[in-house]
Structure 1
Amino acid sequence: MSKKIKIILAEDEPALAQIIKESLETRNFEVIHCKDGEEAIEVFKNEKIELLVLDVMMPKKDGFSVAKDIRKLDNKTPIIFLTAKSQTQDVVDGFNFGGNDYLKKPFSMEELIVRIHSLLGRKTAIKNEDSIVIGNYIFNLTKQTLQYLDTTISLTHREAILLNLISENKNKIVERSLILNKIWGEDDFFNGRSMDVFITKLRKKLSLDSNIQIINVRGQGCKLIC
């Protein structure tokens, strides 16, 4: 059996941290979860860590500050930032503080795996899955499921296609006509009412995370906020 890759995951959202930790542990990683930046630094000092995954916004010490302190101790161990921020300057700051890569939420777990192995100089096998982190859920388009901690929620084919479309455009308005033509095949009154029903169903299935919203933008379309 191959040696496990020991990494630090510093993420202050417990549910999201558990999802990421469990996903990584199925891929031969040993994951030490730290709830804040100060804990991450202490663990790094006492463990032989091969890579750090740092959330940018954390209590006590943010991810950038942790990276800065880590680089005073070690300038080789790879660092990946996880963040909801999307400003160019934030990306630049991350690299200036010693980061090696930058992944914006929501992200595919497979993409995180690939980036980790790329930084470690290892090859990785990609499973034939399409998993995306949406808030504290893992959405799998292929399996048509939403995973929230130990709860698996099944989606219909149309629910999965609809969620995939709006999650690809997170925090952006997706035009109503685009959704109807792409998923229902025609923009008419009856399909519009059907779409509204499906959006209501998705809201209910995503309700375990209060930070997720699907809002209607009058006269334009809908928007997934998380």
Structure 2
Amino acid sequence: MSKILLLEDDYLLSQTLIGLLREAGFEVAHAQDGEEALSLSYDTIFDLYLFDINVPLLNGIDVLKLLRDNDDKTPAFFISAYKDIQTITKAFEGACDDYIKKPFDFDELVVRIKAHIHKHNPTIVYGAMRYDLLSKRIYIDDKEMDLGIVEKAIFDLLMRNMSQTLDKEMFFDVMEKPSDIALRVHLSKLKQRFALNITNIKGIGYRLEKI
């Protein structure tokens, strides 16, 4: 489930948007001012920012500028009542990805968001599983699956190098206490949980086969 950070101080509009976005299948975190939005962005990886401009403490454009200055490349949409070319220009100079003028059509907003997330979040589909390469999130039937740090790193290596034989030393590099036995245990757990077709290349390493 893709995660959206909504920055909007209008109560009625924010509640409408939250309901609409959740109904469309998104997970939504809500901030009412710029500082709260920054705090939430540091705690969670989001798939898209949806920011109003005229909000308390820090306006939406300044929030996005701070995020971009910290190398945050998360796609960002502005929703704003400002229609003057100066504000729109400033928004795009701050590296927003889209600018939607209020009032707007809710269905169109959802279509734009879905299209943008799909375009910028490359995924690998493996059987019933979907792996988001940017956020490193794993989904089965749109339910996010949790993994420990080591197993997630091993999983990522396999998915990014599908059909390639990986030397076991590559796996050892991401393990806290590397050993052949520990690696086999981790791989066995991943095979059982995600129905991965992993081949042991004797004396060399392992390979995730396509299905």
Q: Normalising TM by the smaller chain, what interval?
A: 0.5 to 0.7
Largest Rg, 1 or 2: 2
Name the CA distance, whole Å, in 1 between partners of 2:33 and 2:112. 23
Which position in structure 1 is the counterpart of 2:44?
47
Which position in structure 1 is the counterpart of 2:77?
80
Name the CA distance, whole Å, in 2 between partners of 1:74 and 1:109. 30
Residue 98 of structure 2 is aligned with which of 97, 101, 104? 101
Cα drift, residue 59 of structure 1: 0.3
Residue 89 of structure 2 is aligned with which of 81, 86, 92? 92
Residue 17 of structure 1 is aligned with which of 14, 17, 27? 14
Deviations 1:199-226 (A, max 9, x none): xxxxxxxxxxxxxxxxxxxxxxxxxxxx
Which position in structure 2 is the counterpart of 1:28?
25
Cα drift, residue 48 of structure 1: 1.4
Which position in structure 2 is the counterpart of 1:62?
59
Cα drift, residue 76 of structure 1: 2.1
Cα drift, residue 118 of structure 1: 2.1
Percentage identity across aligned positions?
36
- Does residue 40 of structure 2 align to residue 38 of structure 1? no
Q: Structure 2: where are the runs of 5+ without partners?
A: 120-211
SS of equivalent to 1:85? coil
Name the CA distance, whole Å, in 1 between partners of 2:71 and 2:7. 17
TM-score by length of 2: 0.55
Please say which of residues 51-60 and 112-121 is displaced more in the overlay.
112-121
Name the CA distance, whole Å, in 2 between partners of 1:70 and 1:110. 28
Instruction: Tell me: CA distance 1:113–1:104, structure 2 relative to 1, closer, same or farther (3 Å).
Output: same
- Counterparts of 1:1-226 in structure 2 under 5 Å? 4-121=1-118
Deviations 1:74-108 (A, max 9, x none): 34210000100111111110010121100000001
Q: Which amino acid aligns with 1:110?
A: D
TM-score by length of 1: 0.51
Q: Structure 1: where are the runs of 5+ without partners?
A: 123-226
Which position in structure 2 is the counterpart of 1:129?
none
Q: How many residues align?
A: 120
